[in-house]
Structure 1
Amino acid sequence: MPNLPHVRLRYKLLVLLPWALFLTLLVLILHDLMHIWLDVQLVSSETSSFIRIITASGLIGFLTNWIAITMLFKPSEKRPLLGQGLIPAQKTIISEKLASAIQNNLINAQLIQEYVLSSASLDHVVSKIEEQLDHLTNDPDFKEAVYTHITHGLKSYLSDTRLRDEFAERILTEMAESMPLPSVERVAFTTYLRFRRDEARSILNRTIAQLPDTLYGQRNQFDNLLENFPSLIAQNRDILKHHLGEALNSFISGIDVKSIIVKNLNSYDENRLEYLIKSSTMDQLNYIKYLGAILGVLGGLFIWNPLVATAIIGSLAAVLLLFDHILAQSK
């Protein structure tokens, strides 16, 4: 119910109407009993008949709408004679229709893509990535974890003796070939390798094996490299946005919004589904119930005297439309 004083007042007046009709009809019944048993008549038969028609018609209008709205939800379980409420009985169909309506008109993968992949949204995401990376790369614990992980990875990679021998052999060959010809250094080095190549390879092998620990010991020298990573991301923002957009597009394209909605709705039991619908529409449904009483009263007027009823209803409609127009213009 909207939290407005005039709306609350109007609603309270509508709530009182069925009770007023019921009490009036009850008084008339007591009056008729008094007339039968005690031969006492407080109002004329014509007046009594008029009031009876109005009150009975109003109550019939209210009760008709009340029963119709109640039958939407009750009985929640199928009964032998009473059957089952429309919404519980058609829960699967309603879920499908509601999901289709939401997907076609409110939200679907394409709309999500358009929103998420808009330039502003991606810029915001990239900015958040840069911000979090900046915090992360300046975190001492994270740095230590990175260096430890790299050290363990290098140790694992260089644990193969044959691989280290290949590296050592390549280094020796590159060293020899890099020395200028002719030169004393190259002659001396190649002579050394001719007689002590295995020893040189073994020395390099051990040095390569110790390389991970050596790098770990000098890990603080790499802090600037790690801390500058966010700025590298910022310099390549367009590339990051492009790849991020493609990744999000691929992910969102696989989202079946309808299936998600149907699955969630079907997971609701009858009581929860009833609560879900009532929580969003009960105010309107209550208005329908109480307006049924008003329409019933107007119908009773037609039964009593069509010409007079037409004049009264026409006048009321004109006044209502006039006030509605005045209030609308005053906003």
Structure 2
Amino acid sequence: MDKEDTKHIIKERSKAYATQLWELIRDQVNKHPAETSAKNRPVPPRKTAEYKWLLNLLVAAPYVLVVTFTLSFFWDFDGLSATFFEYSFNFEGLLRILSISGLIGFLTNWLAITMLFRPTHRRPLLGQGLVPSQKDRIAYRLALAVSEDLINPEIIKQKIHESQAIARYRKKATVYVKNIIDDPEFRDGLKKLVVGYVDEMIADPEVRSSIAKSLIEQIDDAIEENSFEKVALRAYSFLKGREMQDLVENALQKLPTGIEKGLNRMDHFLDELPEKLDEHGSVIEDLVTSLLYKLINQLDVQALVEDNLRAYDERKLEQLIKNASNDQLKYIQYLGAVLGTFGGFIIWEPMASIIVLSVIIGSVILADMLIFSLKKKNQP
């Protein structure tokens, strides 16, 4: 067996024992689950309309307008007129004017909201919805805003520093490691693994010979030629009547027994390990912080957000926006029917309608300002 084959055997056996060591550690990790301190942030509740009945009332407006428009074909205040304060009002055709104006207001708002999202894919004549057609630009602008103002390396570093997260988790990690290494089952398994690894390696004559040869080469390289140490080694080999290779291999054969006797030192090392981790806690924290900062500096937040938004399905994006603002979109849609109906009054009688609508709108605005002011004063 040549040197390369021996190295391959050592490498494969080392991998096998490394796998066993990992399984031993994994079993201990499963046996001692780490405490999870992450808290799930509550989902912000969807803001619903304060006056739900008003939305339900507005939903009926398009249906009422359709019925009114249908009725106008059979009866529409035919020949009906009236005089108020010497001002003559002709009601003939009013139903059709109001119903058409209201339906136009409803349909234009419905079309505007629909065109935000549909069609999802470009059509030859219908084009494409605003959000799908501008998805790349929206993704870029949103990612830019997120990376500059919300999540960037400097903000992440600041939050890590302010929260003292590394120090807290280092302390928790030390306690966690202590719980694992204090487990007698873990220590017994680790000792058996070490002894088994050394015993299997030394038991193979080819491997033992390769290790001995490597040790001799390292000793020769470390000792100067014609030095006292090298002369002493040669004299020792001559007096024993054996080659240095045989002497080293013989010493290696006794290695497993020596390791078994010295395993109490491993216990001593494991006992001191948590204390050593605490003693060098600041060094560990500085090292972890430095590595974490290097990782953060290499993190391109803008590209990460932009790529994820670009890959986001248009229908999912539409559903996301609608789920967050469905009531408000419905208000806009159905309110168009009411505003369109008011527009019909202006078409019918411009001057009188403008005066009445101005009074109504002004009253609503003043009432809103008054209520808002009162609520603001009552807030603590």
> Considering the TM-score relative to the shorter chain, is it more than 0.5?
yes
Give the fraction of aligned pairs with identical amino acids, expressed as a percent: 31
Pick from 51, 63, 68: which aligns with 2:112? 68
- 1:301 Cα deviation from its structure 2 partner: 4.8
1:312 aligns to what? 360
**Long gaps (5+) in structure 2:** 1-43, 83-88, 221-227
Cα 1:315–1:274 shift into 2, 3 Å: closer
Write the letter of the residue equivalent to 2:213.
R
Pick from 251, 264, 275: which aligns with 2:308? 264
| C-alpha distance after superposition, 1:167-208 (max 9, x if no partner) | 999xxxxxxx9xxxxxxxxxxx99x95972445965565234
- SS of 2:316's partner is helix
Pick from 222, 230, 238: which aligns with 2:282? 238
Q: Does 1:85 align with 2:153?
A: no
Alignment of 1:1-331 (within 5 A): 7-24=48-65, 26-27=67-68, 29-30=70-71, 32-34=73-75, 46-47=90-91, 53-118=97-162, 120-144=164-188, 146-147=190-191, 152=197, 160-164=211-215, 193=236, 196-198=239-241, 206-303=250-347, 304=349, 305-331=353-379
TM-score (normalizing by structure 1): 0.76
Alpha-carbon separation, structure 2, partners of 1:195 and 1:262: 75
- SS of 1:84's partner is coil
1:172 aligns to what? none
Cα 1:288–1:220 shift into 2, 3 Å: farther
TM-score (normalizing by structure 2): 0.67
Alpha-carbon separation, structure 1, partners of 2:255 and 2:80: 114
- RMSD of aligned Cα (Å): 3.9
Write the letter of the residue equivalent to 1:225.
F
* Contact 2:104–2:340 (8 Å) recurs in 1: yes
Cα 1:95–1:301 shift into 2, 3 Å: same
Moved more, 306-315 or 243-252: 306-315
- 1:112 Cα deviation from its structure 2 partner: 1.8
Alpha-carbon separation, structure 2, partners of 1:51 and 1:33: 11
Write the letter of the residue equivalent to 1:14.
L
| C-alpha distance after superposition, 1:43-83 (max 9, x if no partner) | 97845655655554443333222211100111112222111
| C-alpha distance after superposition, 1:196-255 (max 9, x if no partner) | 244596556523442244213442442131132111111111111111100101111111
Alpha-carbon separation, structure 1, partners of 2:298 and 2:314: 30
- 1:28 Cα deviation from its structure 2 partner: 5.6
Write the letter of the residue equivalent to 1:247.
L
- SS of 2:51's partner is helix
* Contact 1:18–1:62 (8 Å) recurs in 2: no
Alpha-carbon separation, structure 2, partners of 1:88 and 1:294: 30
**Long gaps (5+) in structure 1:** 170-176, 178-188
* Contact 2:181–2:270 (8 Å) recurs in 1: yes
Moved more, 114-123 or 150-159: 150-159
| C-alpha distance after superposition, 1:273-326 (max 9, x if no partner) | 222333334343333323434443444454432222212221232223223322
Cα 1:141–1:323 shift into 2, 3 Å: same
Alpha-carbon separation, structure 2, partners of 1:279 and 1:106: 23
* Contact 1:61–1:294 (8 Å) recurs in 2: yes
Question: Which structure exhibits the higher relative contact order, with contacts defined as CA atoms closer than 8 Å and separated by 6 or more residues?
Answer: 1
Write the letter of the residue equivalent to 1:280.
A
Cα 1:324–1:59 shift into 2, 3 Å: farther
| Number of equivalent positions | 309
Cα 1:140–1:54 shift into 2, 3 Å: farther
- 1:42 Cα deviation from its structure 2 partner: 9.1
* Contact 1:18–1:59 (8 Å) recurs in 2: no
2:37 aligns to what? none
Moved more, 104-113 or 211-220: 211-220
* Contact 1:95–1:266 (8 Å) recurs in 2: yes
Cα 1:81–1:273 shift into 2, 3 Å: same
Moved more, 195-204 or 280-289: 195-204
Cα 1:277–1:3 shift into 2, 3 Å: closer
Cα 1:51–1:131 shift into 2, 3 Å: farther
